[in-house]
Amino acid sequence: MEKELQLIGVNKKYKLENKQTFQALYDINVEFDKGELVSIVGESGSGKSTLMNLIGGLDSDFTGTIISGGENLKKLTDKQLDKYRKNKIGFVFQSFNLISHLSILDNVTLALTLSNVSEKEKVEKATKILKRVGLESQIKKKPTQLSGGQKQRVAIARALINDPEIIIADEPTGALDSDTSMQILEILKEIADSGKLVIMVTHSEKVASISSRVVEIADGRIISDTLNEKYQKTTQESTSNPQEEILQPLPASTRKGKKSKNSKDKQNLSLWSAIRLSIHNMWASKTKNFLMAFGVAIGIGSLILMMCFSSGITDFINDTMKSYSDPTIVTISKKGDSDKPFGSFDYNPFDEDSGEITTLYDDINKYLKDEKGYDFEVSSDNTYYGFNLLSIFSDAKVSYSPSGDFNYSDAETLNISYVYTIPPYYTEKNVIEGEMSSTPSTDANGYIKKNSDGLPEEGGGFMFTKTIVDLFGGEEALGKKVEISFTVPITNAEGKTENFSFDAEDTICGIMDTSVMSQLLVVYVDYDYLKLLFKEKGQADFFAPTTIYVQTPSEEITDAINEYLASTNAYTGSIEDQLAGLFNSLSSVIGTSLIVISCISLLVSAMMILVVLYMSVSERTKEIGVLKSIGARRKDIKRIFTSESLLIGILSGIFGIIFSLILAGIISIVLSSLIGIAPISFRWWYFAVAIGVSILISMLSGLYPASKAAKLDPVESLRRE
């Protein structure tokens, strides 16, 4: 009958530096069978551990043949070798190699965790096995709370959890006193008696004498192989012995029944289990991890803070600009010929007679209806004109005489920037005092009928903004005479520029209220009256509005019209809009620079994570070796380290958010008390970005350490002191 384990002509050479090799095993031919308790003895350095590693599938770099349970190890893929270690082999080490941050239960069930076995099943199996080694009461303890003998029993329980066929114990009693050694040996013996193959390396003659067979190795060769004739299977009389249960077979589900085996093979370490393992490990070195998370949080927090500053400044500018403008008014000017940022001072006037204004209205109305579904229509009922005096006239003044009788020596003179036609909408909404001006009566020739004072017989008059009227002495100015004078540079027939003066005298007939910044120094004149005035002076050509104002019923419609105008690329908005646009691009330049600077601190954070995780890999080399010995695949190891990066990322992100909130609070209090404003605005998605960036950074920095961990050679890792 085929033996459980056969080694045929096995040679092992270690590769040394400079292409040299060292041969540790020479032509090993040996067979072992189930039920045997084999002692491997020999001097230190004779090749015992090397042999164990080959049998255990930790090292597949050998020549010759090893057949274990009918499988040729040479022919197994890496994946199959992982499974072989997980299901067929149980390792027990001299230095126990328990994972100190995991409980006894978690240590014992590690191999099941790697197979994604349910928590309930794990606890059930572990309890049974810990009972077999007499440790059921210690299940919740940590390895450091146990004695050496107890630790080794935990290690044996861990080796047994997957019901392996072969137990490999490399000097299991080497670190124990002789009494404890005997107890451990007793357990191993009973495992062998239950039908397993137990191969143990030992230095102790006493230990060797208890085993069923002693194989001696010297300088990589087997020099003797003797059966112990006195070896007795644990007798049936020992039923009263508390360790009797060891003889009992394991529950059916853990045995190598075909069905359960298959399902076990398919399942791997779940993400959740990996995260749980990571949490345990991170908790074990919590100070280090918290400090690191704090460090990263500074970077993340400053990123959030910079984003908040950037949007705070933008918000502040927009709010300020908004407070100076009316959100229900659309300002339309034709773009000038120049590309200057303030093209507003270089308007091309609209030509009323050409029909371009009605065409524009039609286009806007079509867009509003077809694209947006609004019924609102732009028409002369809701529009008024602005005449930008700064662009048309070289000089525009209003002179006002407090006495009412015009005498230039005591007149107050004020420069004005705009003449507006009286907005139809303003008639009810914004006239504070006085009557709406109206068109004066005209004579047969279409000229204004004047009285002896030179004022229109009926109608006429100018309205001013409250700002101007206040400068003229408040409401007392109502009804008093003012003179408006414009100086217009025109080119004469000889090609010379000469100034043409234009002036009109009339009474202040009303006060307009407006908070719009650019509309403070404005005189309002009835549309027809204004046209008449231009005509009377023989300058009807100058009656060309530079701006059209549309009074809309809502901010949405304002936005919709502005959207249309922007798409035509032929019009500009109000000065406020243009200023806001300029400030916004300035603040986004500043904001972007701030964010770039804070990204540099994130780079520092990333380096820190990389270093810490990298060091953690070296610290945990042994643990990684143990994980591999119980069948962890590279993927599993990678997953454990990756989930650690993930946790660090989440933790740092949360800390970063808290950090930024605290700092933002302090900064706003300080700024508010110093300069009266706190330009910090939070957007909810900044937090999502922060967590995202934090996770991304730590995952990226964790990639290299994780793959390094996954690639560690288990034999080397386990050999580490």
Q: 16 or 252, CB closer to ligand ADP? A: 16
**50 counts as binding ligand ADP under rule CB under 6 A:** yes
**48 counts as binding ligand ADP under rule CB under 6 A:** yes
**97 counts as binding Mg ion under rule CB under 5 A:** no
DSSP state of 335: -
**46 counts as binding ligand ADP under rule CB under 6 A:** yes
Q: Where are the alpha helices (DSSP H) in 327-395?
A: 356-367, 389-392
Residues 46-65 that bind Mg ion (CB under 5 A): 49
Shortest Å distance, C-beta 719 to Mg ion? 8
Residues 5-24 that bind ligand ADP (CB under 6 A): 14, 16, 22, 24
DSSP state of 368: I
Rounded distance between C-alpha atoms, residue 415 and residue 397, angstroms: 4
Type of residue found at 696: L
Question: How do 63-68 and 71-72 pair as beta strands?
Answer: antiparallel
Q: 187 or 718, CB closer to Mg ion? A: 718
Q: 198 or 329, CB closer to ligand ADP? A: 198
**83 counts as binding ligand ADP under rule CB under 6 A:** no
Q: Which stretch binds Mg ion (CB under 5 A): 17-25, 45-53, 187-195, 347-355?
A: 45-53
Pick one of 45, 195, 327, 474: the residue that binds ligand ADP (CB under 6 A): 45
Shortest Å distance, C-beta 62 to Mg ion? 17
Question: How do 462-465 and 497-512 pair as beta strands?
Answer: parallel
24 binds, among Mg ion, ligand ADP, none (CB under 5 to 8 A by kind): ligand ADP
Binding mask 24-43 for ligand ADP (x = CB under 6 A): x-----------------x-
Q: Using an 8 Å Cβ cutoff, are 635 and 268 in contact? A: yes
Q: Using an 8 Å Cβ cutoff, are 590 and 310 in contact? A: yes
| Residue whose structure tokens are 């916004």 | 584
Distance, first Cα to last Cα, the chain? 41
CA distances from 235 to 86, 196, 210, 232, 241 (A): 31, 17, 14, 8, 10
Q: 40 or 296, CB closer to Mg ion? A: 40
Type of residue found at 136: E
Nearest to 268 by CA among 648, 664, 637: 637
645 binds, among ligand ADP, Mg ion, none (CB under 5 to 8 A by kind): none
Type of residue found at 239: T
Beta strands in 515-648 (DSSP E): 522-525, 547-551, 571-572
Shortest Å distance, C-beta 200 to ligand ADP? 12
Q: 46 or 430, CB closer to Mg ion? A: 46
Shortest Å distance, C-beta 192 to ligand ADP? 21
14 binds, among Mg ion, ligand ADP, none (CB under 5 to 8 A by kind): ligand ADP
| Residue whose structure tokens are 């970063």 | 656
Shortest Å distance, C-beta 223 to Mg ion? 17
What SS3 state is found at 226?
Answer: strand
Q: 168 or 210, CB closer to Mg ion? A: 168
User: In what helix (H) or strand (E) does residue 418 lie, and over which residues does it extend?
Assistant: strand 418-421
Distance of CA 658 to the CA centre of its chain: 15
Q: 30 or 700, CB closer to Mg ion? A: 30
578 binds, among ligand ADP, Mg ion, none (CB under 5 to 8 A by kind): none
Binding site for Mg ion (CB under 5 A): 49
Binding site for ligand ADP (CB under 6 A): 14, 16, 22, 24, 42, 44-50
